[in-house]
Structure 1
Amino acid sequence: MTDTEVRTVTVEREIPHPPEKIWRALTTQHLIEEWLMKNDFGLDLGHRFQLSGDWGKVDCEILYVDPGRSLSYTWNYAHDDPAYRLDSKVTFTLEPIPAGTLLRMEQVGFRPHQKQAFGGAKGGWKIHLENLEKVVAKLG
């Protein structure tokens, strides 16, 4: 792998709920806060928002919206140390299946030297999507 190559974290999860419920949890501020982080999310194309955690903030911008099916936004973490700086893109894709929805999350943009960020994302997204499923299960 050269330094110009990028790595991708992909997590798929079958969720026993319809895509509409999952979409709601992916695109509603107070629900995003329950499964991911505090935020000032907005669904308009080009909307800039931040996700805030104990460790810092992620700068985001909505890149693509296909309501109920797909959502993409930048996921940029600024840091003085290039090993920790991350310029990436997150994409959620929802596919109806007989058991509910197949949710696929891809985060692309990890450089070879960003082993800690890549490993953190691999483990972190699994936990976030488990939490997302719990939030969706509580929706009416």
Structure 2
Amino acid sequence: MSDTKSDVRTVTIERDFPYPAAKIWRALTEPHLLSEWLMKSDFAPVVGHHFQFSADWGSVDCTVEIVEPNVTLAYTWNAYGLESVVTWTLTETADGTRLRMEQTGFRPDQEQAFQGAKAGWPRFLANLERVLAETA
């Protein structure tokens, strides 16, 4: 099996939020807020920081790759044989901020993980929307 770029699949979701990028950035980077919409973690927005997301089903090992406050955040997402990268991009809009999430690195033999991400990320982002609405 080849390991070419075309063999790798990506889950991409974009949402527009009526909030400034700084508010969304806080929800993406502060562990107490992350735990409310994604999972518990020992995250820190520092390039090279190793951390874990944990849930009742297990954990995800991660390393921070990119930190551009209020613009871009990327970290590896490694669990159960999946080695992927999650990238968050925040873009100012006339009415707030467009948030783009990309998780890339799904191989053709990882259909279950790919489908799980396609189903899971919309739920996580719905939780994020709720947390943003409730957070000052």
Rounded to whole Å, the distance in 1 between the matches of 2:23 and 2:129 is: 10
Rounded to whole Å, the distance in 2 between the matches of 1:3 and 1:116 is: 20
Q: What is the CA deviation profile of residues 49-97 of structure 1, one whole-angstrom value per residue up to 9, with x for unaligned ones?
A: 00001111100000000000000000000x3xxxxx1000000000011
**Which residue number corresponds to residue 54 of structure 1?**
56
Q: Is the contact made by 1:17 and 1:137 (CA closer than 8 Å) also made in structure 2?
A: no
Rounded to whole Å, the distance in 1 between the matches of 2:126 and 2:93 is: 18
Rounded to whole Å, the distance in 1 between the matches of 2:91 and 2:129 is: 15
Rounded to whole Å, the distance in 2 between the matches of 1:117 and 1:106 is: 14
TM-score, length of structure 1 as denominator length:
0.92
Rounded to whole Å, the distance in 2 between the matches of 1:136 and 1:60 is: 24
1:3 shift after superposition: 4.8
Tell whether 2:124 aligns with 1:128: yes
The alignment partner of 2:83 has SS state of: strand
**Which residue number corresponds to residue 26 of structure 2?**
24
Identity %: 56
Rounded to whole Å, the distance in 2 between the matches of 1:21 and 1:134 is: 13
Q: What CA RMSD, in Å, does the superposition of the two structures yield over aligned residues?
A: 1.0
Is there any run of 5+ residues in structure 1 with no aligned partner, and where? 80-84
**Which residue number corresponds to residue 133 of structure 2?**
137
Provide the aligned length of Structure 1 versus Structure 2. 133
Rounded to whole Å, the distance in 1 between the matches of 2:92 and 2:116 is: 29
How do 1:3-82 residues align onto structure 2 when only pairs under 5 Å count? Answer: 3-4=2-3, 5-77=7-79, 79=80
The alignment partner of 1:109 has SS state of: strand
1:20 shift after superposition: 0.7
TM-score, length of structure 2 as denominator length:
0.95
The alignment partner of 2:44 has SS state of: coil
**Structure 1 runs, 4 residues or longer, greater than 3 Å off:** none
Match of 1:107 among 99, 103, 106: 103
Rounded to whole Å, the distance in 2 between the matches of 1:16 and 1:31 is: 18
The alignment partner of 1:14 has SS state of: strand
1:7 shift after superposition: 0.3
